Structure 1
């Protein structure tokens, strides 16, 4: 079941700590925050995030029986008990619309040799992204051939967050090739991972 949680301001009631204090299912109180009240601008935040190395993934689903997908680097695991993954997508994303309609999605973790594929799904014409791309289908979800690892998820929750939506999903199938040579994005370009 998909649940949409609307974005709203935090109230004093939200900040109250239940009897017994915060726990696994209870939020800790939210403090007043730093003294600087004005948030940084988008360009400042973008420059800050350029210093954070991320993996690269293509999130896929289907729309009207056709595969859709887009490149993301805002992807992470949330929990192991229960297993839960999260991907952040723009509200205007066609892939998000497909995921919402289908109630499912796949995450394809790309290897270093798939950088062209990452660019294609990031900037290519939406309708042409799968043209000539080898993939297989599992429960309707497209899995890209050659991906370093992949998972298929059922949507658990959608959370509105500013101009994006956080998609939480429960993975019910996943596999990894064992080829740990990931595509890594840092400073606005792809990098190579070197052994420590």
Structure 2
């Protein structure tokens, strides 16, 4: 029997893997299934970290997500073989790992404190969004989404009390960190108000 690995079955890019996942989706029209496929494809194809860490989920959570949202993906097929080969957890226990874990935990708590409805998918998305905040691109890009509109949609669906606070349409990652600062009573901004800040475009400019 031939064992499928990333070396024996390579997906051309994240879009190729996304398509293969959606071919086995429980509901091709489910916006959350679309988001999960985007995140899994982007992190599996383009991130050096083990997949479980890269998407911010515990192994059991990722197992449940795959079974529930992609039941048509064969457990013995190339998609699952590819994902399985990428799975695992980081073993680092240094200061940087501790700081990263604390930051992700704070971001996740911010999101879960504003969940619209207590469904498991909201918890998974909170973890995924929190983890993606530590990557370097626009948040929607590091989640593998097509645009900021996709990101705004998922935040409005699952974290409406938080999303509705972003009345000035601040970049989402900047907005989350500002919310964390406000929670702690901190003000790290250089200016007394956003309107007169020299970094205004960094926080409110287009995310393309």
Give the structure with the higher percent helix: 2
Q: TM-score, normalised by structure 2?
A: 0.26
Q: TM-score, normalised by structure 1?
A: 0.27
Asked which structure has the greater RCO (Cα within 8 Å, sep 6+), the reply is 1
Give the structure with the higher percent strand: 1
